[in-house]
Structure 1
Amino acid sequence: MNKSKIIAFSAVSLSAALLLTACGNSSSKSEQPTQKANYSFASNILTLDTSMAADVNSIDVLLNVDAGLVRWNPDAQVVNDLAKSIDVSKDGKTYNVTLRDGLKWSNGAKLTAADFVYGWQRTVDPKTGSQYAYALTPVANASEIMAGKKTVDSLGIKAESDTKLVITLATPTPYFNKLLTLPAYYPVNEAFVKKMGNKYGTSSDTSLYNGAFKFVKGKNNWTGSNETFSIVKNDQFYDAKNVKLSGATYQIVNNPNTAVNLFKSGKLDVANLATPELVSANKKNKDYKALTSPRIDVLEYNQSGKVPELSNLKIRQALNLATNRKNLLEIAAPSFSITNTVTPKKLDQAPNGQDFATYAAQPYTYDAKKAAELFKEGLKELGKTSITLELEGANDNSFAKAAVDYLKGNLEKDLPGLTINEKLVSSAQRQKDAQNNNFQILLTSWGADYNEPSDFLMNFVSGSSMNHGLVDNKDFDKAYNAATTAPDVLSADKRYAHYKDAERALYESANVNPLATESVSLLLNPKLKGISTYNSAMIFDLRHAEITK
């Protein structure tokens, strides 16, 4: 896998972590700068519950206020964090973990091995409703617990003492250390959760922290809906002496033009150039940076049976063939690139050295004539002469708004008899609709959690908590399961061949419509150094960041 370090935003993209080393404009001798960073999100965070977080903004904050057994370092390597040591058995199924001594929660309570046991059990418990529960599938009995066939206390994680954990996997998983970086694998304090009840994680005052930063109760806190909030350095954090920032302030700025103006007036340290116009206007700015991002945009189809039209294979195939991706990106996001897999470019390399998206590419093409023919056949099978479908996207995402508008015209023109109704909602509502299977066609954006194809492919496994469209593709399941279980999981050649077969199965059944791999263009304060950015190139790890003169 490509684990090259990125210096000064070179064109190379890491699928796990990037080191942003700013060139920095040194000023003359002056007083030390204030060690506080200023950021913005286009939409609010949705939760501070590590089991429930599934949106990029919530995960961004959680990576700064919480910590797990391991973490990504700036060189895209997984290193120990709360774990002092991790010993893996020869068969790859048993992990013996020793925690660091003296770990504490932000309220001063001891952080112990039991907190990991409770946190993992809570994530896989069907009563919790975690979208990321499926990420714990490699752990022994996790699948059975999620299916309601076993109780949470059978999960393959046991605390032998306050500092000793034993993790048992159902099958050896070579990338399990990468999975451990996810918030869904973080510890959770059971006593605090029970004290907060249903309010846990719904505000900063009803949450507890163990990371480099924390929220302060009642002071610039997050209430669940307010649009400015702050985190401060956590003096209970085991590595607090190496945390240089005193904290960070987050603002919700829906308008990307406003964010750029705030950056230029010194009120933000980072501004995302979220529209083609902003990219064009700021390309010559000395603070401009551009990254290819392991993040993908797709159209999800509801295949639960609630939308009979989308249960018809020919209708889905017609929609895919009628999608003019080239024109879509020229209008909505010229810096994005067309993708032919449900895994983004620059995510990972296949064993032959190819980018996985090239290795597993499928012939997603634009063919209006063939699309119209299939659509006509699909209508005949449905006993209809026309259909109306609803296309939903986020109204606080510049690409989504432009894409929904373009796709309506594109699909209606190329598929006579089709009417597309646009539905634009907040990112929070779009997230809820996805989780509740309350949509027809959904424009979705996924960022990488770790640099391995399973991170994206797991979204289509039958029964997966991330399978929003309720895809049920037996050929896909067979290929994915072969890739992620012994013996083939232990062979890179066989594992990636199965992943390619899984991509082919999704293409042939038109279960999803991949549109583009994103790129990220932004303005970055050159005085802000030492940031690590994860996954989507817009999640900022501030643990080792600092403001320089």
Structure 2
Amino acid sequence: MSFWKKSRYFAVFLTAACAMQFCAGCSVPFLEKQESDGSGYLFTASLPANPKSLDPQSATDAASKTIIENLYEGLVELDENGSPQLAAAESYTTSADGLVYTFLLKNDRYWFYDANQDDVVDDDETWKVTASDYAYAFQRIFDPQTQSPYTTMFSCLQNADAVQSGQLDPSEIGVRAVSDTELQFTLSRPDAEFLSNLASTAAMPCNENFFQQTKGRYGLDKESVASCGAFYLRLWFYDQYGNQNQIFMRRNAVNAKARSVYPTNLTFQIRKSSDEAAADFTDGTSDLMTSSVYQPQYMESDNYSVTATRSVTLGLIFNPDDTAFANAKIRKALSMGIDRANIGGNSSGDLLPAYGLIPPAIHWNGTSYRDTYPDAQTAYDPDAALTLFQQGMQELGRESLDSAKILVCASLMDCDNLHDVIQTWQEVFGFYIGIEEVSESDYWDRLQSKNYTVAVCGITASYDSPAGVLEQFSSRTNPFYYANGTTDAAIQALHQCGSKEELQQKCAQLEQSLLDECVFLPIFYKNQYCITKSNNKDIGYDPFSGALNFRNAKHFE
């Protein structure tokens, strides 16, 4: 999805009074706070919006995925290099033709549903996680009634098209439980990203009996959620007119026996905007936040630890109804008239010149995609750019461009870095274009109503894959109204690659094709920041999905 559409800010802070309110009289086993290992801390996080759904097979927003990440555990998970690692699975094998994946599940993972809400793990409130739970999750993805957005991600599964179209029952999808602990996936064609995709929230298990008991409410309230991961849901209160909205979670003691869970409790304060969520960190009571903005007060202080992830590509987009910028020669000339090698130098490392669409944070085979496929360096050629620009103007029968401004979301970047681009255009083409900074809500309103001429837009992936970035150019799904049937077919072909080498090659070809069209002129690769107080460690953050994971989060005094 487009970068700004994601929930971008999370803040974490300690609220002892709130924690005591829920702890009084409970008998759930707690981890003792140990100075040596950082366990036992009571974290609280601020979400910029109420989660839309805690149904893993449906949820797409960052707030929902954060809760889901802490509620469930999948077969595999991605490490910091984007490589799949075993989680709830003990092992797996792949057939020689790449069409059959067989997983053996660990035998010590449990569902927990605190039916009487007494925070005690009773025998009748737990049951084993089995292969059938994973099989049923995939049946739900392809059941037309679910309307899951993840069918394309797993379209390689046997019978996927027939099930989705209603020709076959969802039980016929190519996933079956061989036994309680053996799960088998059968693919209709090899898929280079299948194993990595199993780390997504969509591939989390779903217990069929529990699902049926929720009677259509699955994932929509506290009573309709069971946990098989690090934490369970104790409270989910949301009143759109109130300001005490929160989600409260506790350590799932039955699963913590098999895999360590360091925090005792999690409290998620539900805010009404990303600015409100960020303020929880700014006021000095929070432990963590993520931000798209370079903030020297934190980044230049020894009291904070900052992780920078270059996961966003910033570029220029054009109003598709504007006659001048609809001309391909004018767009190409503008791209050639950007001296990318000499921009962003005053951004304290926040921005790097971008020649491509896929940002450096995207991984491939355990390393940056850009290490394997470096940017195709778009030459800065002012003479050729001017000639091409004049040809475009002649085609339009015009002598000059109308005055215009570049629309920029004020919370995204320091606009001073755009002046390098504007100054060069003035020197090369003889026209000046201004800058108009607006709020985030105004920005989206202006884009939706096409009330702009040129705008800065950020793109990233919803998951760690070069294909995930290129998917942003699918017709009818991007904020800049780009639509091209040939591109749509090429994007679809990315999900039909049988080898990593083939996928890599097709991604490179499609990226170059999109660059040649100049519908999105890349300018900067931009950092996303995860900022913590220096005494907090190992809070997992995915800059693509926007999810936070607290299983391994530690606090040291």
TM-score, normalised relative to structure 2 = 0.70
Residues 344 and 417, structure 2, Cα contact 8 Å, conserved in 1: no
Of residues 277, 282, 287, the one that matches 2:298 is: 282
Equivalents in 1 of 2:159, 2:328: separation in Å? 35
Distance in 1 separating the partners of 2:249 and 2:538? 18
User: Using the alignment, how far apart are the partners of 1:109 and 1:468 within structure 2?
Assistant: 49
The answer as to whether partners of 1:329 and 1:336 remain within 8 angstroms in 2 is yes
Match of 1:503, SS state, is: helix
When the two chains are superposed, the root-mean-square deviation of aligned CA atoms in Å is 5.1
Moved more, 60-69 or 326-335: 326-335
Contact 2:191/2:495 (<8 A) preserved: no
Contact 2:314 2:459 in 1 (8 A): yes
1:89 aligns with one of 85, 95, 98: 95
| Partner residue in 1 for 2:260 | 242
Aligned mates of 1:198, 1:406 — CA distance in 2: 53
Match for residue 177 of structure 1? 195
What is the letter of the counterpart of residue 342 of structure 1?
L
Separation of aligned partners in 2, 1:339 and 1:161: 50
Gaps (5+ residues) in structure 2? 1-32, 114-124
Task: Give secondary structure in 2 for the equivalent of 1:184.
Answer: helix
Percent identity between matched residues is 20
- Which of residues 254, 260, 273 is equivalent to 2:275? 254
Q: In the alignment, residue 112 of structure 2 is paired with which amino acid?
A: S
> Partner of 1:361 in structure 2?
375
Secondary structure of residue in 2 paired with 1:90: coil
CA shift digits 1:121-153 (9 cap, x unpaired): 333445544444322133234356557776644
Give the conservation status (yes or no) of the 8 Å contact 1:520–1:537: no
- 1:399 counterpart residue number: 412
The one-character-per-residue Cα deviations of 1:199-248 (angstroms, maximum 9, x if unpaired) are: 54345554433210122135xx4568865433221234365662121122
Q: 1:418 to 1:372 in 2, by over 3 A?
A: farther
Deviations 1:282-331 (A, max 9, x none): 3431133343415123459699x999998764576467567787898568
CA distance in structure 1 between the aligned counterparts of 2:135 and 2:34, rounded to whole angstroms: 52
Q: What pairs up with 1:278-427 in 2 under 5 angstroms? A: 278-279=295-296, 281-298=297-314, 313-314=328-329, 317=332, 329=344, 335-348=350-363, 356=370, 359-364=373-378, 398-399=411-412, 424-425=439-440
Higher mean displacement: 410-419 or 171-180: 410-419
Q: Which moved more, 1:407-416 or 1:149-158?
A: 407-416
Distance 1:67 1:532 in 2: 14
Which secondary structure does the structure 2 equivalent of 1:248 belong to? strand
Are 1:68 and 2:81 matched, yes or no?
no
Note closer, same or farther for the CA distance 1:372–1:176 as it changes in structure 2 (3 Å cut): same
Amino acid at match of 1:261: T
Question: Offset of 1:90 from its aligned partner?
Answer: 1.7
Opposite residue 252 of structure 2, the aligned amino acid is N
**What is the CA–CA distance in structure 2 between the aligned matches of 1:154 and 1:309, rounded to whole Å?**
53
Change over 3 Å in CA distance of 1:289–1:217 after alignment to 2: closer
Greater gyration radius: 2
Q: How far 1:175 moved relative to its partner?
A: 3.6
- In 1, the alpha carbon distance for the partners of 2:231 and 2:402 equals 52
1:481 aligned onto 2:488: no
Q: 2:137 aligns with which of 102, 115, 119?
A: 119
Secondary structure class of the residue paired with 1:505: helix
Structure 1 residues 342 and 367: alpha-carbon distance in aligned structure 2, compared to 1, 3 A threshold: same
Mapped contact 1:48–1:202 kept (Cα < 8 A): yes
The answer to whether the 8 Å contact 2:140/2:146 transfers is yes
Q: Which residue of the partner structure matches residue 525 of structure 1?
A: 533
Q: Measure how far apart 1:521 and its partner are.
A: 4.1
Native 8 Å contact 2:88 2:105 kept in 1: yes
For 2:93, the aligned partner's letter is D
Deviations, residues 364-411 of structure 1 (Å, cap 9, x unaligned): 57778877877787788789998999998877xx21696999899899
Between stretches 334-343 and 314-323, larger displacement belongs to 314-323
The code of the aligned residue for 2:42 comes to K
Q: Distance in 1 between matches of 2:420 and 2:221?
A: 37
- Is contact 1:202-1:223 (8 Å) kept? no
SS at match of 1:518: strand
**Deviation by residue 1:44-76 (Cα, 9 ceiling, x = unmatched):** 544323233333343233212222111235676
Spell out, residue by residue over 1:350-375, the C-alpha distance to the aligned partner (whole angstroms, 9 max, x if none).
89x98526724234577788778777
Q: Say if 1:239 and 1:542 are closer, same or farther in 2 by CA, change over 3 A.
A: farther
Judged with a 3 Å threshold, the aligned counterparts in structure 2 of structure 1 residues 124 and 483 are, in CA distance, closer, same or farther, namely closer
CA distance in 2, matches of 1:118, 1:310: 49
- Give distance in 1, aligned partners of 2:133 and 2:180: 9
Q: Secondary structure at the match of 2:253?
A: coil
Alignment of 1:188-267 (within 5 A): 188-193=206-211, 196=214, 199-217=217-235, 221=237, 228-237=246-255, 239=257, 242-251=260-269, 252=271, 254=275, 258-262=279-283, 265=284, 267=285
C-alpha contact (below 8 Å) 2:230/2:255 kept by paired residues = yes
One-letter identity of the residue aligned with 1:454 = A
Decide whether aligned partners of structure 1 residues 348 and 274 sit closer, same or farther in structure 2, where only a CA change above 3 A counts: closer
TM-score, normalisation: structure 1: 0.70
Q: Which moved more, 1:152-161 or 1:497-506?
A: 152-161
Amino acid paired to 2:376:
Q
Contact 1:123 1:132 in 2 (8 A): yes
**What is the deviation of 1:156?**
1.6
Q: Deviations over 1:151-179 (max 9, x none)?
A: 64442212334433221112223442211
SS at the partner of 1:178? helix
2:69 corresponds to 1:51: no
**1:545 is matched with which residue?**
553
In structure 2, the CA distance between the partners of 1:292 and 1:547, relative to structure 1 (3 Å rule), is closer
Letter in 1 for 2:362: L
Q: How many residues align?
A: 502
Map Cα deviations across residues 455-506 of structure 1 (whole Å, 9 max, x no partner).
Answer: 323444679x8899564353684587378423xx26x3x5433322121111
Contact 1:300 1:469 in 2 (8 A): no
Matched letter for residue 453 of structure 1? P
Partner in structure 2 of residue 157 of structure 1: 175
Is contact 2:359–2:460 with CA below 8 Å preserved after alignment? no
1:312 and 1:41 mapped to 2: Cα distance? 42
Aligned residue number for residue 21 of structure 1: none
